Amino acid sequence: MAEGRKNSSHNPAVVDINEVEVIAPNFKRRLSGVTSTIIQLVPVQRALGYKVAALGPGLPDTIPHIRFRDLACLWRRPSSGRKRVWHARRNVEMLPAIVMRDILRMPLKIVFTSASQRRHTGWTKWLVSKMDAVVATSGRTATYLNMPNTVVMHGIDTERFSPPKDKAAARASLGLDPTGKFVGCFGRVRHQKGTDLFVDTMIALLPSRPDWTAIIAGRATGPHVDYEKQLIGKAAKAGLADRILFVGEHTNINEWYRALDLFVAPQRWEGFGLTPLEAMATAVPVVATDVGAFPELIVTGEAETGIVITATFEAMISATADFMDDDARRGAAGVRALEHAAANFSIEGEVRRLGAAYQKLST
Task: Tell me whether residue 162 is in a domain.
Answer: no
Instruction: Flag whether pLDDT at 115 surpasses 60.
Output: yes
What is the arithmetic mean of pLDDT over 5-10?
45
Contact 1, 80 (CB under 8 A): yes
The CA distance from 305 to 280, in Å, is 7
- Which pLDDT score is estimated for 271? 85
193 and 263 fall within a common domain: yes
Task: Tell me whether residue 231 is in a domain.
Answer: yes
The CA distance from 114 to 89, in Å, is 7
Instruction: Flag whether pLDDT at 355 surpasses 80.
Output: yes
Which letter does DSSP use for residue 103 in this model? I
Q: How confident is the model at residue 267 (pLDDT cuts 50, 70, 90)?
A: very high
193 and 334 fall within a common domain: yes
272 and 306 fall within a common domain: yes
pLDDT digits 0-9 by tens, 15-56: 999 999 999 999 987 767 788 899 999 999 999 999 999 999
The CA distance from 298 to 308, in Å, is 7
Structurally, the chain folds into a number of domains equal to: 2
What is the arithmetic mean of pLDDT over 146-166?
95
pLDDT digits 0-9 by tens, 230-239: 999 999 999 9
Task: Tell me whether residue 35 is in a domain.
Answer: yes
319 and 351 fall within a common domain: no
141 and 181 fall within a common domain: no
| Average pLDDT across the chain, whole number | 94
129 and 173 fall within a common domain: no
What is the arithmetic mean of pLDDT over 254-269?
97
Q: How confident is the model at residue 120 (pLDDT cuts 50, 70, 90)?
A: confident
Task: Tell me whether residue 4 is in a domain.
Answer: no
User: Facing residues of 213 across strands?
Assistant: 182
Task: Tell me whether residue 11 is in a domain.
Answer: no
Task: Tell me whether residue 188 is in a domain.
Answer: yes
The crossing angle, in degrees rounded to 10, of helices 91-98 and 122-129 is 50
Task: Give me the domain span that covers residue 352.
Answer: 17-155+347-362
Task: Tell me whether residue 77 is in a domain.
Answer: yes
- Which pLDDT score is estimated for 3? 42
What is the arithmetic mean of pLDDT over 193-216?
98
For position 285, which CATH number holds? 3.40.50.2000
H or E element that contains 202: helix 195-205
139 and 219 fall within a common domain: no
The CA distance from 230 to 214, in Å, is 17
237 and 264 fall within a common domain: yes
The CA distance from 294 to 267, in Å, is 10
305 and 171 fall within a common domain: yes
The CA distance from 259 to 182, in Å, is 7
Instruction: Flag whether pLDDT at 6 surpasses 50.
Output: no
Side chain identity, residue 243: R
Contact 305, 340 (CB under 8 A): yes
The CA distance from 81 to 18, in Å, is 10
193 and 291 fall within a common domain: yes
The CA distance from 273 to 223, in Å, is 22
Stronger pLDDT, 182 or 60, i.e. the higher one: 182
- Which pLDDT score is estimated for 326? 98
For β-strands 244-248 and 150-151, DSSP reports them as: unpaired
The CA distance from 355 to 49, in Å, is 10
What is the arithmetic mean of pLDDT over 76-97?
95
287 and 140 fall within a common domain: no
Closest CA to 22 of 184, 129, 124, 133: 133
- Which pLDDT score is estimated for 7? 43
The CA distance from 282 to 162, in Å, is 4
Percent share of the chain, pLDDT over 90: 88
| Buried residues in 80-98 as b, exposed as e (16+ CB within 10 A) | bebbbbbbbbbbebbbebb
HSE value, Cβ hemisphere, 13 Å, CA-based, for 215: 26
H or E element that contains 214: strand 212-217
User: Any residues with CB less than 8 A from the CB of 52 and at least 6 apart, and which?
Assistant: 20, 21, 22, 23, 24, 41, 42, 45, 46, 64
HSE value, Cβ hemisphere, 13 Å, CA-based, for 199: 27
- Which pLDDT score is estimated for 116? 83
352 and 334 fall within a common domain: no
Element counts in the chain: helices (H) and strands (E) = 13, 12
Percent share of the chain, pLDDT over 70: 96
Instruction: Flag whether pLDDT at 2 surpasses 50.
Output: no
pLDDT digits 0-9 by tens, 163-201: 999 999 999 999 999 999 999 999 999 999 999 999 999
Closest CA to 180 of 188, 170, 189: 170
Task: Tell me whether residue 9 is in a domain.
Answer: no
Contact 191, 267 (CB under 8 A): no
Stronger pLDDT, 262 or 272, i.e. the higher one: 262
- Which pLDDT score is estimated for 8? 43
- Which pLDDT score is estimated for 10? 60
Lowest mean per-residue pLDDT among 67-71, 117-121, 221-225, 227-231: 117-121
The verdict on pTM exceeding 0.85 is yes
